[in-house]
Amino acid sequence: MPDFKNFIAGAWVPPSAGAYFENTNPADTRDVIGRFPQSGPEDVARAAASARKGFALWSRTPAPVRGQVLQRVGDLLVKKKEDLARAMTREMGKVLLETRGDVQEGIDTAYYAHTEGRRLFGRTVPSELRNKWAMSFRRPIGTVGVITPFNFPLAVPTWKIFPALLCGNAVIWKPSEDVPHTASLLVEILLEAGLPPEVIQLVHGGGDAGKALVEHPDVGVISFTGSTDTGASIGATCGRMHKRLSLEMGGKNAMIVLDDADLDLALDGVLWGAFGTTGQRCTATSRLIVQAGVHDRFVKMVADRALKLRLGPGLEAQTEVGPLIHEASRDKVEAYVGIAKGEGASVLIGGARGQGAGLERGWFFQPTLFVGVKPGMRVEQEEIFGPALSVIKVKDLDEAVAVNNDVKYGLSSALYSRDVNAAFRALNELDNGITYVNAPTIGAEAHLPFGGVKQTGNGHREGGWAVYDFYSEIKVGYVDYSGKLQRAQIDTEI
């Protein structure tokens, strides 16, 4: 079994304490991908010292030149797309079609970053005084700590690392313990593309490594995607230490289906939204809010099709739903089946582990439909992060909006209707960072801002143009060429 290493101070190195963890295939736990470093504060401290040097060099490199490195990263991702997708599916379970999409999202993010190197706009504005110039521009910040989840092992890290690099920062990356192999492959690509080695540091490990990164005084910026609980403790530390922080956390995303919807279209949408990635997306559809007139018919349509979804290893061509990431995750979904029943909902389909040939050694769980769910029940309020969908019946759009909004999260939502007035009302009234009309809650594109309201985040956005604000400091410059003292707000002409 191979031993993988950290990448610190320009070299692949073993962890300082000599401890490792195993990384296994969630579809077949006999398949061990390798042992990865269990890092701690010492490794993080070495990474931070090296990142300072990397930053000194990289922050002075012209942004268009930094962009060219990211262009080469994009080219390498294109070239290696299939191999990466296979490694990712082996490591975290989702079907190949989806890991290819995950790599594509990284490619899109790389090319966006490349061209942003020739923009990174500041603003030049008129001064209120004569013969004075007023402008703003962007400066790199320093060392950015990036902590990423398992479900998009490539795309989500690229959302953070690529703009952070393009803005001229150095990065220390602590990927999820569930997907360290993809992380190692991506760092190899960054180096092959010509990124100066000390600009990127890869520190594998679990909570200890993450905590050391968040607490390190040299790491002034933290970007985290993961659970709301972990985000809260990171937030407490960053608040105390006055760090810049971007949090992307849970969701309890709803699809609303009105009586006038194209039900066949909504059916394709809900299956993809709820059971794609085995429900393990922060954008996954986990509530289906259906208007009374079509409720019974639509629920039957969903149940009939969901029953036919083929569970299996993501590397097999016929598989539609892969395994959950690990045992604790399957236990959690299983526990929610008991919780749903205890609260008076019924399990229409699924509710059990995957059974049958080829499913014995992985963390498979059947697509599950909870019906008779009432607003306020735990399966209606809490993020399950698995293939479980709660169905809620409502009388009209007003009630649907109220149900959608009455959760602590606010990432994504979807409305299926043919009524243009309903569509615009949904866009305006649903409390989410993203609303889809006649499309499922998943599938955000890399060049638009991504993020949620309420407990989903802390006000920042990833993706698109917005993320560049997070990774750069705005500096303002005034040049007075009048040759005399001009006092702002005092020597006024009006």
Catalytically active residues, by annotation: 248, 282
Nearer to ligand UN1, 117 or 149 (CB): 149
Enumerate binding residues for ligand UN1 (CB under 6 A).
105, 151-152, 156, 225, 281-283, 442-444
Cα distances (angstroms) measured from residue 426 to each of 95, 256, 267, 437, 476 = 32, 9, 19, 8, 39
* Alpha-helical regions (H) of 244-326: 263-275, 292-307
State the minimum distance, in angstroms, from the CB of residue 440 to ligand UN1. 9
Q: What are phi and psi of 486, to 5 degrees?
A: -120, 125
Q: Contact at 8 Å (CB) between 431 and 401?
A: no
Nearer to ligand UN1, 234 or 442 (CB): 442
Locate the DSSP E strands across 258-405.
285-291, 346-349, 368-371, 388-394
Q: Contact at 8 Å (CB) between 380 and 343?
A: no
Q: Can you tell me the distance from the alpha carbon of 386 to that of 365, in angstroms, rounded to the nearest whole number?
A: 8
Nearer to ligand UN1, 180 or 440 (CB): 440
State the minimum distance, in angstroms, from the CB of residue 421 to ligand UN1. 26
One-character DSSP codes across 13-63: E--TT--EEEEEETTEEEEEEEEEE---HHHHHHHHHHHHHHHHHHTTS-H
Nearer to ligand UN1, 283 or 413 (CB): 283
Nearer to ligand UN1, 54 or 175 (CB): 175
Q: In which residue are the tokens 């079994």 written? A: 1
Question: Judging by DSSP bridges, how do beta strands 170-174 and 143-147 pair with one another?
Answer: parallel
Nearer to ligand UN1, 349 or 444 (CB): 444
User: Cβ neighbours of residue 279 under 8 Å, at least 6 residues apart?
Assistant: 286, 384, 385, 386, 387, 388, 389
State the minimum distance, in angstroms, from the CB of residue 390 to ligand UN1. 19
Q: Contact at 8 Å (CB) between 377 and 341?
A: no
- Under the phi-then-psi rule, with left for phi > 0, alpha for psi from -120 to 50, and beta for the rest, what region is 25? beta
Q: Using CB atoms, what's the residue nearest to ligand UN1?
A: 444
Query: What are 124's strand-pairing partners?
Result: 135
